[in-house]
Structures are given as structure tokens and as C-alpha cells.
């Protein structure tokens, strides 16, 4: 069994950005810059923010956090958000979600300048994804594609089963796979006889958020298994949706957790930031 590690994929993305960065910097007169917008101090937000900012800086660009109290009013938040949205020195915006309930998340998302929407959450970018036009896809979905490309996994005509239909992972990923001519099946919590469906997959992608729920009973021999899940098990250890130990003898390849898709997601965020800064020059 091969292990599809995320680090080499992320390093290749970083190398490419660093090689092109100085000419972009010269033309912009500054480094590409990401605004990370967060309300409150949720541990999961803090971890993602730290990892994202570290990756952006590691690749030679800048990240700045804009932090609001958990009980920030709609008015105050919108005013600051709009200022960042219009700020010419900001190339990309990463909004940590879900926002607190007093904020109108749907409206705020609809306001994001689609060219700064490096996490692909705006309706304009979502429409682009479904219409097959240009735009940013959500970073995790794009990270899975990047990983498959890096490890030269053939997609045309392959049976790909995606478990999960969220707007951040399952749905956009299914659209990206379809665009590359895979035969895509989407499963969810109401899917009947999940094992029967997943066993047909040449490539099985799990994004359900349940520790080690996918076992060797779910996969066919030689299948490529991509684990998007980031979970903690009963012992408090970080793990994926896939029971790695149980699947490793049957699968053709697996992404580890940690060190798989997650390691590529922040690199894709950096890549999108670099592309957004480039767009300013056109």
C-alpha cells in the first residue's frame, strides 16, 4: 500500500509560489496579504488560523488577523468587514465560520468580493464551480484534487464515491471530480447500505467527521482512499474518518491523518492568495 502524504504536495505548491513571488511583489509594491477574520476564541478557529498564517508566511506572503468579540454587533462587524473587503492592500479574506448567531452569515458571505474569496464561499464562486467557469473552489475540496494530481491518480471514467455532502467539502469536491470526467456518487447519512456503494469505488473519499467509521468492509481491494476527516477518538488522539490500520492491507493507497489532506489545505489557501494578488495586476 502507498501512503499519499500531504507534505510533498504542500512543498511543491510552496516552491512554485516562491519562484514566482518576487516578480509579483515588484509589480504590487508589497507582498500578497491575507486578512483572517475571526469572532471569539474557539479553539478550532485558533488552530486553523495559526496553521493558515504560518503557511502563508512560510511561502513568503503576509497574513493579518482581525479579531472581534463573540458578541460583536451586526453593525460594527459589517462596517469593519466592508472596510477590509474594499481595502486595496488586502488580496484575500479568510472568514472563520460559523459566525456567532447575531451576525447574518448568509448576507456577509454574499458581500465578499469574489476575487478576494480565497476560500471559495461566496455565491459567485459557488456558481462558478457548478457552471464550470473560473473562480476559487473551497480550499479543502481543491486540496483533495491537488493531492490526486500530485500522485498522478487517473480520474476519467473512474468510479469515485464521496461520502459527505457539505458545502465546504462533499458538494464542491464532487463538482471538481465531475469536471475531470470521474463518475461520481455522493453518499450521506441517509444513504442505504453504504458499504455496498463504497465497495464499488476505485477512489473512496470520506468527509463525514466520524472517527475511524470507514473500515476495510467499506473498500474494495486496491482502492485509493482519501481521508478528509479530522476527528478526535475516545482517547483524545487526532484521527481521520478511516480506520487506517484496518484498511492498510486492502487499500491501494491511503492519505494519513494527520499529515494528509489537512497538510495540503493551507497550501491551497496560500496558492489562492497568490492567484488573487496576481489578479490585481491584470
Q: Which of residues 158-217 bind ligand NAP (CB under 6 A)?
A: 163-166, 168-170, 187-191, 194, 207-210, 213
How many residues line the site for ligand NAP (CB under 6 A)? 26
Contact between 259 and ligand NAP (CB under 6 A)? no
Residue 147 burial (10 A CB sphere; 0-12, 13-18, 19+): buried
Q: Which residue, 35 or 162, has its beta carbon nearer to ligand NAP?
A: 162
* Cell numbers at 240, concatenated: 481521520
Q: What are phi and psi of 57, to 5 degrees?
A: -70, -40
Question: How far is residue 67 from each of residues 57, 62, 75, measured CA to CA in Å?
Answer: 19, 16, 15
- Give 57 or 210: the residue with its C-beta nearer to ligand NAP: 210
Q: Which is nearer to ligand NAP, 69 or 98 (CB)?
A: 98
Among the listed residues 137, 177, 228, 276, the single contact to ligand NAP using CB under 6 A: 228
Nearer to ligand NAP, 84 or 230 (CB): 230
Residues near 18 by Cβ (< 8 Å), separated by ≥ 6? 59, 60
Q: How far is the CB of 112 from ligand NAP (least distance, A)?
A: 18
Nearer to ligand NAP, 135 or 209 (CB): 209
Min dist. Cβ of residue 169 to ligand NAP (A): 4
Quick one: cell of 89? 492592500
Q: Phi and psi (nearest 5°) for 166?
A: -75, 160
- Whose Cβ is closer to ligand NAP: residue 32's or residue 262's? 262
* 8 Å CB contact between 261 and 143: yes
What would the x/- binding string for ligand NAP be over residues 123 to 142, using CB under 6 A?
-----------------x--
- Segments in the chain forming alpha helices (H): 7-28, 43-58, 74-86, 105-111, 123-131, 139-150, 170-179, 194-198, 244-247, 261-279
**Nearest distance, CB of residue 173 and ligand NAP, angstroms:** 9
Task: State the DSSP string of 214-281.
Answer: B-GGGS-TT-EEEE---EE-TTS-EE-SB-HHHHTTT-SEE--SSSSHHHHHHHHHHHHHHHHHHHTT
**Using the rule CB under 6 A, is 267 a contact of ligand NAP?**
no
Choices 27-35, 111-119, 154-162, 222-230 (CB under 6 A): range interacting with ligand NAP: 222-230
Q: Which is nearer to ligand NAP, 80 or 166 (CB)?
A: 166
230 contacts ligand NAP (rule: CB under 6 A): yes
Residue ranges that bind ligand NAP, judged by CB under 6 A: 140, 163-166, 168-170, 187-191, 194, 207-210, 213, 228-231, 261-262, 265
Amino acid at each position: 500500500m502507498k501512503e499519499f502524504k500531504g507534505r510533498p504536495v504542500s512543498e511543491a505548491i510552496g516552491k512554485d509560489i516562491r519562484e514566482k513571488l518576487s516578480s509579483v511583489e515588484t509589480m504590487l509594491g508589497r507582498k500578497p496579504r491575507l486578512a483572517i477574520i475571526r469572532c471569539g476564541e474557539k479553539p478550532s478557529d485558533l488552530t486553523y488560523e495559526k496553521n493558515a498564517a504560518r503557511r502563508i508566511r512560510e511561502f513568503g506572503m503576509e497574513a493579518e488577523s482581525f479579531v472581534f468579540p463573540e458578541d460583536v454587533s451586526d453593525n460594527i462587524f459589517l462596517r469593519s468587514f466592508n472596510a477590509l473587503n474594499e481595502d486595496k492592500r488586502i488580496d484575500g479574506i479568510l472568514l472563520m465560520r460559523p459566525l456567532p448567531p447575531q451576525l447574518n452569515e448568509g448576507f456577509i458571505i454574499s458581500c465578499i468580493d469574489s476575487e478576494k474569496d480565497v476560500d471559495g464561499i461566496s455565491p459567485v464562486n459557488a456558481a462558478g464551480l457548478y457552471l464550470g467557469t473560473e473562480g476559487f473552489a473551497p480550499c479543502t475540496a481543491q486540496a483533495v484534487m491537488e493531492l490526486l494530481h500530485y500522485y498522478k491518480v487517473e480520474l476519467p471514467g473512474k468510479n469515485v464515491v464521496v461520502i459527505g455532502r457539505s458545502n465546504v467539502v462533499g458538494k464542491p469536491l464532487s463538482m471538481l471530480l465531475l469536471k475531470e470526467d470521474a463518475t461520481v456518487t455522493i453518499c450521506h447519512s441517509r444513504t442505504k447500505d453504504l458499504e455496498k456503494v463504497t465497495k464499488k469505488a476505485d477512489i473512496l473519499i470520506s468527509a463525514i467527521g466520524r472517527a475511524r467509521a470507514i473500515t476495510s468492509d467499506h473498500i474494495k481491494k486496491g482502492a485509493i482512499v482519501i481521508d478528509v476527516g479530522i476527528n478526535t477518538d475516545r482517547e483524545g488522539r487526532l484521527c481521520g474518518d478511516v480506520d487506517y490500520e484496518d484498511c492498510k492491507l486492502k487499500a491501494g493507497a491511503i492519505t494519513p491523518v494527520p499529515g494528509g489532506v489537512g497538510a495540503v489545505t493551507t497550501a491551497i489557501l496560500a496558492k489562492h492568495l497568490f492567484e488573487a494578488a496576481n489578479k490585481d495586476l491584470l
